[in-house]
Amino acid sequence: GQQVMQIPQYQHVQEGEDFTTYCNSSTTLSNIQWYKQRPGGHPVFLIQLVKSGEVKKQKRLTFQFGEAKKNSSLHITATQTTDVGTYFCAALDNYGQNFVFGPGTRLSVLP
Protein backbone atom coordinates (compact mmCIF):
# COMPACT_ATOMS: atom_id res chain seq x y z
CA GLY A 1 0.00 0.00 0.00
CA GLN A 2 0.88 3.63 -0.12
CA GLN A 3 3.53 4.73 2.34
CA VAL A 4 4.21 8.16 3.69
CA MET A 5 7.49 8.98 5.36
CA GLN A 6 8.33 11.85 7.65
CA ILE A 7 11.64 13.23 8.83
CA PRO A 8 12.92 13.88 11.35
CA GLN A 9 11.30 11.56 13.86
CA TYR A 10 12.21 13.86 16.73
CA GLN A 11 13.36 17.46 16.91
CA HIS A 12 14.46 19.42 19.94
CA VAL A 13 14.76 23.18 19.52
CA GLN A 14 15.36 26.16 21.73
CA GLU A 15 12.42 28.51 21.98
CA GLY A 16 12.69 31.07 19.22
CA GLU A 17 14.45 28.76 16.78
CA ASP A 18 12.81 27.64 13.55
CA PHE A 19 11.58 24.11 12.89
CA THR A 20 10.84 22.18 9.72
CA THR A 21 9.36 18.73 9.18
CA TYR A 22 9.25 16.97 5.85
CA CYS A 23 6.74 14.52 4.43
CA ASN A 24 7.66 12.31 1.47
CA SER A 25 5.91 9.79 -0.73
CA SER A 26 7.14 7.60 -3.57
CA THR A 27 3.92 8.22 -5.47
CA THR A 28 2.21 11.37 -6.63
CA LEU A 29 -0.29 12.65 -4.10
CA SER A 30 -3.66 14.16 -4.91
CA ASN A 31 -3.68 16.12 -1.68
CA ILE A 32 -2.07 16.19 1.72
CA GLN A 33 -3.25 17.19 5.15
CA TRP A 34 -1.33 18.21 8.25
CA TYR A 35 -2.42 17.49 11.81
CA LYS A 36 -1.03 18.43 15.20
CA GLN A 37 -1.30 16.28 18.29
CA ARG A 38 -0.47 17.83 21.64
CA PRO A 39 0.96 15.50 24.33
CA GLY A 40 -1.92 13.46 25.73
CA GLY A 41 -4.30 14.87 23.13
CA HIS A 42 -5.84 13.87 19.85
CA PRO A 43 -4.87 14.88 16.31
CA VAL A 44 -6.26 18.21 15.23
CA PHE A 45 -6.51 19.27 11.61
CA LEU A 46 -4.22 22.13 10.60
CA ILE A 47 -4.44 22.47 6.83
CA GLN A 48 -4.96 20.77 3.48
CA LEU A 49 -2.84 21.29 0.36
CA VAL A 50 -4.11 20.34 -3.08
CA LYS A 51 -2.25 22.19 -5.80
CA SER A 52 1.28 21.60 -7.05
CA GLY A 53 3.67 24.11 -5.48
CA GLU A 54 0.98 25.42 -3.16
CA VAL A 55 2.10 27.46 -0.16
CA LYS A 56 -0.21 28.31 2.72
CA LYS A 57 0.48 30.25 5.88
CA GLN A 58 -1.10 30.24 9.29
CA LYS A 59 0.59 32.86 11.45
CA ARG A 60 4.06 31.38 12.14
CA LEU A 61 3.33 28.13 10.26
CA THR A 62 4.12 27.76 6.57
CA PHE A 63 2.96 24.73 4.62
CA GLN A 64 4.24 23.80 1.20
CA PHE A 65 3.30 21.16 -1.37
CA GLY A 66 6.08 20.12 -3.72
CA GLU A 67 5.99 20.86 -7.42
CA ALA A 68 5.87 17.14 -8.22
CA LYS A 69 3.25 16.57 -5.50
CA LYS A 70 5.39 13.91 -3.88
CA ASN A 71 6.47 15.85 -0.83
CA SER A 72 5.36 18.50 1.59
CA SER A 73 6.85 20.51 4.41
CA LEU A 74 5.72 22.33 7.51
CA HIS A 75 7.91 25.17 8.74
CA ILE A 76 7.44 26.95 12.06
CA THR A 77 9.15 30.29 12.49
CA ALA A 78 10.34 31.30 15.96
CA THR A 79 8.97 28.33 17.85
CA GLN A 80 7.09 28.78 21.10
CA THR A 81 6.41 26.31 23.89
CA THR A 82 2.83 26.09 22.65
CA ASP A 83 4.16 24.46 19.46
CA VAL A 84 5.15 21.32 21.37
CA GLY A 85 3.54 18.19 19.99
CA THR A 86 3.66 15.68 17.20
CA TYR A 87 3.01 16.82 13.64
CA PHE A 88 1.55 14.33 11.20
CA CYS A 89 1.11 14.53 7.49
CA ALA A 90 -1.61 12.45 5.88
CA ALA A 91 -1.94 11.62 2.20
CA LEU A 92 -5.02 10.42 0.40
CA ASP A 93 -4.64 6.82 -0.71
CA ASN A 94 -4.72 5.66 -4.31
CA TYR A 95 -8.44 4.93 -4.09
CA GLY A 96 -9.21 8.43 -2.92
CA GLN A 97 -11.11 7.23 0.11
CA ASN A 98 -8.77 7.17 3.08
CA PHE A 99 -5.82 9.03 4.42
CA VAL A 100 -2.51 7.30 5.11
CA PHE A 101 -0.70 8.95 7.99
CA GLY A 102 3.02 9.42 8.28
CA PRO A 103 4.75 8.34 11.51
CA GLY A 104 4.91 11.93 12.73
CA THR A 105 7.60 14.33 13.92
CA ARG A 106 7.69 14.98 17.63
CA LEU A 107 8.73 18.54 18.44
CA SER A 108 10.12 19.58 21.80
CA VAL A 109 10.68 23.25 22.55
CA LEU A 110 13.04 24.14 25.35
CA PRO A 111 12.21 27.45 27.11
Partner 1 sequence: EAQVTQNPRYLITVTGKKLTVTCSQNMNHEYMSWYRQDPGLGLRQIYYSMNVEVTDKGDVPEGYKVSRKEKRNFPLILESPSPNQTSLYFCASSLSGGGETQYFGPGTRLLVL
Binding footprint of partner 1 on the chain (CB under 8 A): 1, 6, 9, 30-31, 33, 41-45, 48, 88, 90, 92, 96-104
Rg (the chain; Cα; Å): 13
Residue with Cβ nearer partner 1 (96 or 111) = 96
CA distance 91 to 41: 21
Cα–Cα distance between 74 and 47 in angstroms, integer?
A: 10
Closest to partner 1 by CB, 39 or 111 = 39
Minimal distance in Å, beta carbon 70 to partner 1?
17
